[in-house]
Structure 1
Amino acid sequence: MKTNTPAPAAAARSKLSLYLDLIRWDRPAGWLLLLWPTLTALWLAAEGWPGWHLLAVFVLGTILMRSAGCCVNDVADRDFDRHVKRTAQRPVTSGQVSVKEALLLGAALAALAFLLVLTTTATAVWLSLPALAVAIVYPYAKRFVAMPQAVLGVAFSFGIPMAYAAVQSTVPWQAWALLVANLFWVLAYDTEYAMVDRDDDLKIGMKTSAITLGTYDVAAVTAFYLIHLLLWALLLWPEVGGWWLGVALGLALAQVAWHFSMIRDRTREGCFRAFRLNHWLGFTLFAGVALTYAQRQWGG
C-alpha cells in the first residue's frame, strides 16, 4: 500500500523553499534599501574605494541582517499577519514554519553577520550590539509607537555609523547626521508600505505612520523625501561636491515627483509599486558619490 509521505529529498527542498520565502529571498528590494546608504557611508569614510574586504563584509552583512530581521518580524507579527491580505500566507503565520525554526534561523543568520563584523574593528563590533537591539525591538514598536517607522529608520540606518567605524575606528558627527538624514528616507518609503495595509491595520489595531498621518500621508511622504534630499545634499556637498553628485541629486528629486504620482491616489497597487522601486533612489545617490570619487582617483 502506497503512502503520501514525501521523499526526504523532496521534503528538504520544500523546507528550504519555505526558509527562502521566510527571509524574502526573492524580494531583494528590502536589503537594497539597507545597502545603498551603507555603501555611500563606506565610500565617504574611505574617501573612495574601500577595498574588497570591507565591501564584502557590508554587502553580505546587510543581506544576512535583513534576512534575520524578517525572521524576527514574522514571529512577532504572526498573530496580526493572518488578518492582513498581503501577509496571511507567510510561512510562520500559516504554520508551515514553526516559531522555533524561524528564531533559530534568524539567530544563525545574525551570528554569521557578527562573524563578518569581527573581521573589522573593535568600534564596529561594539556598534553591532545596539544595531541588533534596535532590529529586535522594531517589530514590537508597532504595538506601542504611533510612528514605528521612525524606529525602523534607526535600524535601517545603523549601517552608516558602522561603515565609518569599520574604516576609521571612530564615528564622527557626520555619520550620526547621515543616520538622521537617512531616517527621513525610511519614513518616506515605509509609510508608502504602510499605506498598502492601512485598512487591514486599522481593523487589527496596528500602529503605523500611514494611520497616524491620516489624510496628510501623501504630503508627509513627499516632505520626508525632500527633507532627506536636503540633508543629504548639505552633508555630502562639502565632502564630495562635483558634477556627478549634482546630477544624482537632480535625478533623485525627479524620482520624488515620480513617487508622488504613484501614491497620490492612495491605491494599494500604486503605493506598493512606489515602495518596491525606492531602492533606485538610494542607488542614484550612491552612484553620485562613487562616481565622483572614481573620477578623482582614476580620472584625474
Structure 2
Amino acid sequence: MTEPHAAPSLPDAVRGHWAERWAPSGLKPYLRLARIERPIGWWLLLLPCWWSAALAALHGGRPWPDPVHCLLFLVGAVAMRGAGCTYNDIVDRDLDTRVERTRQRPLPSGQVSLKGALAFLALQALVGLVVLLQFNGFAIATGFASLGIVALYPFMKRFFWMPQIVLGLAFAWGALMGWAAAFGSLGGAAVLLYLGSIAWVVGYDTVYALQDIEDDEVVGIKSSARFFGERVKPGVGLCYALAILFMAAAFVQAGAGALSFAGLALFALHLAWQVARIDRRDGAGALRLFRSNRDAGLILFAALTLDCLL
C-alpha cells in the first residue's frame, strides 16, 4: 500500500536519505520543500561562512575559527537554505509544473498547500532570525541586508540571462558574515572573499543548470548554462578563475600563510578538474560535478583552519 504523502524522490535527491526513510509521512513533504534530502545546498551556503570565520581568525591571530560562530552558521545555513527554497517554490509553483525535474516538488504536485508552505516558510525564517540575533549588532545588520537579494532571485530567471549572478550575491553572503561576526566590521579581505565566492557560485550553478537546459529552452527560463551555450566550459572556467584570483587577493590582504595558499591551490585543481569533465549532454554527470563542490570547499576550509593552528 502507498503511504500518505508518498511521492517519487526528485532526481537530484540523495538516495536513501534519512528524511525519506525515517521521517513521519506527514512531515516528508515539508522536508522535501526545504530540500533536506539534498544537503548540498546548505553545505554550499555554509562554506563561505566558515571560510570567512577562518580567514578572520588568521587575520586576528587566533588559533582557530570561533567554534560557536561556526555552529551558529551551520544551524543558520540549514534554516535559511530551507526558507529560501520554500520561498523559491512558492514563487515558481506554476513554472515548476512545466519542468520535468521540478514538477514532483511538493507545491506543484499538491503534496503541500500554499498556506502550509507559507507557514513553513515563517517557521524556518524564525529559526534563522533566532540564530542571527546571537551575533553582534553589525553582523545582524549585515545579515538583514541580504534579504532583498534573496527576495529578488526567483524572479530573475524570467528576464535576466545570468540569474546565477544574483544567486551568487545571496549564496556568497556568508563570506561577509564570518568576518562581521568576528570583528563587528568589514575589511578588504572579506569583500575580496565575497567577490571570489560569487564567482564560484556562478560557476557551480551553471554546471547545475545543465540538467534543465532543454526544459528551460521550452519554458523560456533563462540561465547561464543557456547563455554560455556551446561555450559552457570556458564560461565556467572563467568564473572559477576569477574565484581563485579574488580569493588569493583576500588571503594576501588577511595575511594568510603558506598552508592557506596550498589549500587554495588544491581548491583550484579541483575546480579545473570539474571544468575538464563538463559535458552539456550529461545531466547526471553535471549533478555529480556540482555536488563535488562541497568537497572542494571543505578542503579550503581545512587548509585555512590548519593555517590558524600552525
Structure 1 and Structure 2 fold alike (TM over 0.5): yes
Could you list the per-position Cα deviations for residues 209-266 of structure 1 after superposition, in whole angstroms to 9, with x for gaps in the alignment?
1111222111100111111112211221353443422331222222123212321354
Change in CA separation of 1:100 and 1:245 when aligned onto 2, cut-off 3 Å: same
Q: Can you give the 5+ residue segments of structure 1 that lack an aligned partner in the other structure?
A: 7-11, 296-300
CA distance in 2 between counterparts of 1:252 and 1:5 reads 44
Query: Structure 2: how far apart are the matches of 1:152 and 1:60?
Result: 20
Note if contact 2:49-2:178 (Cα within 8 Å) is conserved in structure 1: yes
Shift of 1:130: 2.0
Distance (whole Å) between structure 2 residues aligned to residue 283 and residue 52 of structure 1: 16
Letter in 1 for 2:43: L
> How many angstroms does 1:274 deviate by?
0.9
Matches within 5 A, 1:142-291: 142-291=157-306
Return the letter of the residue paired with 1:144. F
Distance 1:159 1:241, change over 3 A: closer
Q: Give the direction of change, closer, same or farther, for the CA distance of 1:163–1:246 in structure 2 (3 Å limit).
A: closer
- Any stretches of 5+ residues in structure 2 without a counterpart? 5-22
Cross-structure match for 2:54: 43
1:5 CA drift (Å) = 11
2:33 alignment partner in structure 1: 22
Does the CA-based 8 Å contact 1:262-1:273 persist in structure 2?
A: no
Verify the 8 A CA contact 1:114 1:128 in the aligned structure 2. Answer: no
2-structure distance, mates of 1:5, 1:220? 45
**Structure 2 Cα separation of the partners of residues 5 and 265 of structure 1:** 37
Matches within 5 A, 1:48-59: 48=62, 49-59=64-74
Q: Does 1:75 align with 2:86?
A: no
Per the alignment, do residues 246 and 44 of structure 1 end up closer, same or farther by CA in structure 2, a change over 3 Å counting?
A: closer
- For the aligned residue pairs, the C-alpha RMSD in angstroms reads 1.9
Residue equivalent to 2:107? 92
Higher helix share: 1
- When Rg is computed on C-alpha atoms for both structures, the one with the higher figure is 1
Tell me how far apart the structure 2 counterparts of residues 114 and 199 of structure 1 sit (CA, whole Å): 38
Give the Cα separation in 1 of the matches to 2:271 and 2:54: 24
The change in CA–CA distance for 1:122 and 1:241 in structure 2 (over 3 A counts) is: closer
Higher mean C-alpha deviation, range 67-76 or range 166-175:
166-175
Measure how far apart 1:192 and its partner are: 0.5
**1:31 paired residue number:** 42
Q: Is the 8 A contact 1:68 1:110 kept in 2?
A: yes
Q: Structure 1 residue 132 and structure 2 residue 143: aligned?
A: no
For these two proteins, the number of residue pairs brought into alignment is: 287
Match of 2:122 among 104, 107, 115: 107
Contact 2:210 2:280 in 1 (8 A): no
User: Structure 2: how far apart are the matches of 1:117 and 1:93?
Assistant: 31
Q: Percent identity?
A: 38
In structure 2, the CA distance between the partners of 1:239 and 1:171, relative to structure 1 (3 Å rule), is closer
